[in-house]
Structure 1
């Protein structure tokens, strides 16, 4: 079947837009083909700095003929409905329609519509211009004399030419005939801007790729990445060095060149006195170059590798020289910033934070630092951290945000704080916390293990979560502007991966109470405000945030406990949802997290995880599966009978009402399991608790096999339902089995 070759050739497309643009082009064309009834075999899109290219193979040569029955109005219906039906279906009279009988609704007119399929070439000529005009560039522009016209084409950069050919491999393809804003679709492209600028006629995709390669254009961005990485590694190894790999930079550089050529430059050794991360950020951000390290020391050398877009006649000397001059100037600036920063102590920068707003409802950065410092000191004993070191670390952790280097390279926040703290003689644990308290920032990021760093990291994230919960700025749907989900996942990983035993509810509740007290009493709230508000008088607009909090948290007594407890419960529920995500990513079942959290009071995340793991292993066994089935059966029966009788069947069963041996055996097994499972849970031995639970399975199976629950005698029926409730209660020693799927 025929193939489509589609190229949009323009001035340089920003590298950051290329990958998405290629995917958008593939999606838009293939979706439209399918909508037109043209099912294709495969499609692939490519991007270089000057072109978007799409190949779609295995497209039918024409659409299939369409036959459709369209139902019209009832026979004898209103004339307006009949005329609308005729117009919509293209019929000239009702004689051309047939009548279909509906046994319930009567006779209806039915139109038989036959629509012959069109040649695919015609369909393409109609759809491709629309796709070009509606292409979703983040930013686009008009250009040239045509730009002033209404409806003139907008594109990311000036569009120069279009290739659109369609045909089978063994024949000369047809050009898809269309014109857009004076640009005629054809079958001519151009090669490298400098090394092969002449026009190149092409026929189909294989021909196109080969001719572009001869014209110094590597079409596939993945192949360009491979070339850049391999050549850069080879160049570094030739001089006994190692390339410092950078995937993000590699992605960007591959979008800047069509014909990658790796070259090595150097800079003055004096700049190696700057931290390596500053050198790397300077060279990476300003010149898009890779840095090189010495494998013997692991430190950076005074070399860098750039990727040129041309095979220069002088071997690249001019290109290297130009980059060296720029890098020398940039490193000189970075060195100045770094040395200037070292002249000011970190704590001397803190007063400036009092003038920087963290959030209009949560105060300044300075006020937030004080909250984190207090909370970190409270958490420190819980994680085995030295309290004084933790307070000092929390006090200094944000200070580097006001340094010159972090102002120039925000991605170095925290890391520079560590360097500056070490330079001014701070304890190593205090310095490390400046960098590590931001971690983990994602699933691939490492988790701090030093107790001081852990305490400050937990305090930073918990303060963020509690603060935004207090002002009702919670994530909604996919929106999470303050990255609260990431903060919660960070807390979870800090606790679980460091095997910390921490009860979160007391921490949330205490910090929320203190935060609300501060927000109301310190942030413009006074007795006068309270009286004016309760009297219905106007309040200074600056005090409205305090008014909102007062309405939420203060009833007749200060800091209403119900509101604090409600927010604490909601925040713990939010953590349960995040824990589900975390465990699901690790292969665990989300319903098991629900089953554990449903027990109530489960705010020790490490124990929750261990319960979930033990429960998961238990449910993979035959005993676990069968006990789950029996427990669910008991719960279902209880739910039905409780709804029918409008009562709960709680309370202990009466042994004198047992009529069958299976009832007695089940009651005995329940007593044994309660004792053994309860003791195991108390020792936090959840595997042993599951083993105890397994002993319940034979008695449950036998009970349901031999015993009629809804006995004719009311007292026996009630007693047996209470016995079923005992099954449910016994299993709740480890989890709420009713929440488990299956």
Structure 2
């Protein structure tokens, strides 16, 4: 028998930022239980609203199939003594199976004969299984701090009130969290107070909608987006979906109704980032922008009620947002009375890290390091140093203390207000880029210099005191800093040596660092990040590791080498050449020599080795010229011409010849081959 099935746990309002994660985890856990119990189903989907976690399973089997379970006992030789009486081992096994030893079957294998019991196990119904399924699925939910309520010992993320379990139109028996299953759910807190009786699993969503609850998270979110698009058309505005905000708002409402509020034009004199931040973060509002990206004196918000007098709801929200905007305006005007440079001294009171000193010291290091990097990439050194020095001063402003996520952004506005160069102001804004995967990069070379300096100062400083990231613990976001560094160097085509930058950064710490190997540790860490970075771009691990072996300390050089290896791997000759290269490496690794004399052509006596040396001589100069110019792809492609001569050499020539001079000469040929192939990457790992 197969029917559609719905399970719903009715709760108090669940944490909005965690709702989606909880629902997906509930679905994964319950699905694992179904599969483990071998109950077939067609599809399982999660549903979630502020006061419920639910699952809908399509075409679910009600009963497990009966099974024959075989339980093998001890070997017959060990099951009976010399008199043919059962041993303790045999009797213990039989007792565990609920039979006598005499009733046991036997099974013969190529390893001997064994006692065997075949038990017919009847399948259990959903009524018998559901409580266990639910307990297991709920137990593995990501709930950091469960709570208790009333006089009960039951714990969950929020108090629970109802447990709905419907298989078709019948209630499935279950007990969990002190609740017994039924066919009732909770209606909307205001529009439909009290409980709602659900007639069947198929009608769950429809009958809850009649009670002003959209239980389907995805459908509710689509409704919000549709309403937002309609509002933007009416207001001549644009709507850019912030997915995190959209998810949070969707998790806050059961019956979304989009409305528009306004605020006074005077607040637009405040940098719009500050206004947008307080609308989104504090009030969960959607700011409305014009077609050029400028903030309009309007905002959209999602109400959880369908009011008969929506104007009252709008006015209430306008009253709430106005003081927040007024605070931003006051803080901004107050901050402008003091220059960023004058705030440098206040950074002395803020520790960056106990062993590494204050933010003032960090700013001074960033300034010097940014100037050093700028000199390497033909950027304006003075602008880079100035931006580095002022880079953390906006952290001491009132606006940033109130709205922490816009650090850097406000630095730009204050720098322009102070009369600083626009180049310096932009560098202050862009110093934290990229903030996350896929984020935009700094635009100017000066901004790149400051962003890299900030990241390298943190990497070298934290590694310099021996605080390495471990597992998922990375309090200083060193992995993100390393990935950001790689992206800036590669995508902005900055040919910088991060070993050289790390060495210079090390000198700026004076005697604060305790790790003598800090530069090497930073280089190792950076090389390790290449694999994570390029795997996210779909590049095979072996291709990345082929380049990693060469330990290039320029991200741009790593990129060029990797691109060459990727192209090389597509050639028809690649597999054979990789195998040959591995064979060369294996042979030479058994020889104590690390360098070889030039090939003596007078000692060549086999046709295959004569031809191989001829082909090497024909392309070696061309290949090396390409490599020296950084044209790794062209160089590796030219090496493909050696595939047939190399195969012939290994097939027809004995490398370890008895004549020592001939043997050493053949090693020299292999050494020359290894040098050509290993210049770009270790092709043998492909």
The two structures share one fold, judged by TM-score above 0.5: yes
State the shift of 1:656 in Å: 2.9
State the shift of 1:738 in Å: 2.2
Higher relative contact order (CA 8 A, sep 6+): 2
Other structure's SS at 2:627 match: helix
1:616 is matched with which residue?
A: 566
State the shift of 1:455 in Å: 0.8
TM-superposition CA deviations, 1:325-370 (whole Å, max 9, x none) = 1111111111111111111211222222222221222222222222
2:528 is matched with which residue?
A: 577
State the shift of 1:383 in Å: 1.8
Q: Distance in 2 between matches of 1:127 and 1:617?
A: 50
Q: Distance in 1 between matches of 2:142 and 2:73?
A: 39
1:707 is matched with which residue?
A: 653
TM-superposition CA deviations, 1:215-268 (whole Å, max 9, x none) = 222121111111112212212321323335322211111111111111111111
State the shift of 1:700 in Å: 1.7
Q: Distance in 1 between matches of 2:543 and 2:140?
A: 47
Q: Distance in 1 between matches of 2:110 and 2:268?
A: 89
Match 1:207 to one of 167, 180, 203:
203
Residue correspondence of structure 1 range 25-424 to structure 2 within 5 A: 25-73=26-74, 74-76=78-80, 81-82=89-90, 84-91=92-99, 93-100=100-107, 108-128=114-134, 131=137, 136-144=142-150, 146-147=151-152, 152-167=153-168, 173-180=169-176, 183-295=179-291, 297-314=292-309, 316-424=310-418
Is the 2:4–2:202 contact (alpha carbons within 8 Å) kept by the matching residues of 1? no
Q: Does 1:489 align with 2:483?
A: yes
State the shift of 1:650 in Å: 4.2
Other structure's SS at 1:490 match: helix
State the shift of 1:593 in Å: 3.5
Is the 2:498–2:553 contact (alpha carbons within 8 Å) kept by the matching residues of 1? yes
Other structure's SS at 2:259 match: strand
State the shift of 1:676 in Å: 1.8
TM-superposition CA deviations, 1:577-610 (whole Å, max 9, x none) = 212232333343443333334335x212212211
Mean Cα deviation higher: 63-72 or 703-712: 703-712
1:588 is matched with which residue?
A: 539
Is the 1:649–1:725 contact (alpha carbons within 8 Å) kept by the matching residues of 2? yes
Q: How many residues align?
A: 678
TM-superposition CA deviations, 1:274-325 (whole Å, max 9, x none) = 1111111122222211111232x532111111111111111x1111111111
Other structure's SS at 1:622 match: coil
2:626 is matched with which residue?
A: 680
Other structure's SS at 1:426 match: coil
Q: Distance in 2 between matches of 1:45 and 1:579?
A: 36
CA RMSD of aligned residues (A): 2.5
State the shift of 1:638 in Å: 4.5
1:439 is matched with which residue?
A: 433
Q: Distance in 2 between matches of 1:578 and 1:322?
A: 50
Q: TM-score, normalised by structure 2?
A: 0.92
State the shift of 1:411 in Å: 0.7
CA distance change for structure 1 residues 486 and 133 in 2, over 3 Å: closer, same or farther? closer
TM-superposition CA deviations, 1:374-422 (whole Å, max 9, x none) = 2112111112221221111011111111111111111111101111111
1:502 is matched with which residue?
A: 496
Q: Which runs of 5+ in 2 are unaligned?
A: none
Other structure's SS at 1:502 match: coil
Mean Cα deviation higher: 298-307 or 572-581: 572-581
2:473 is matched with which residue?
A: 479
State the shift of 1:614 in Å: 2.2
Is the 1:274–1:335 contact (alpha carbons within 8 Å) kept by the matching residues of 2? yes
Is the 1:161–1:183 contact (alpha carbons within 8 Å) kept by the matching residues of 2? yes
State the shift of 1:627 in Å: 2.9
Mean Cα deviation higher: 696-705 or 4-13: 696-705
Is the 1:212–1:219 contact (alpha carbons within 8 Å) kept by the matching residues of 2? yes
Is the 1:121–1:166 contact (alpha carbons within 8 Å) kept by the matching residues of 2? no
Q: Distance in 2 between matches of 1:120 and 1:677?
A: 70
Q: Distance in 2 between matches of 1:103 and 1:251?
A: 61
Other structure's SS at 1:39 match: coil
CA distance change for structure 1 residues 175 and 368 in 2, over 3 Å: closer, same or farther? same
Q: Distance in 1 between matches of 2:684 and 2:239?
A: 56
CA distance change for structure 1 residues 136 and 734 in 2, over 3 Å: closer, same or farther? closer
State the shift of 1:734 in Å: 2.8
Mean Cα deviation higher: 617-626 or 215-224: 617-626
State the shift of 1:513 in Å: 4.1
Other structure's SS at 1:370 match: helix
Is the 1:439–1:448 contact (alpha carbons within 8 Å) kept by the matching residues of 2? yes
Other structure's SS at 1:4 match: strand
Q: Which runs of 5+ in 1 are unaligned?
A: 168-172, 521-548, 553-562
Other structure's SS at 2:412 match: helix
CA distance change for structure 1 residues 63 and 687 in 2, over 3 Å: closer, same or farther? closer
Is the 1:288–1:306 contact (alpha carbons within 8 Å) kept by the matching residues of 2? yes
Q: Distance in 2 between matches of 1:377 and 1:259?
A: 56
Other structure's SS at 2:352 match: strand
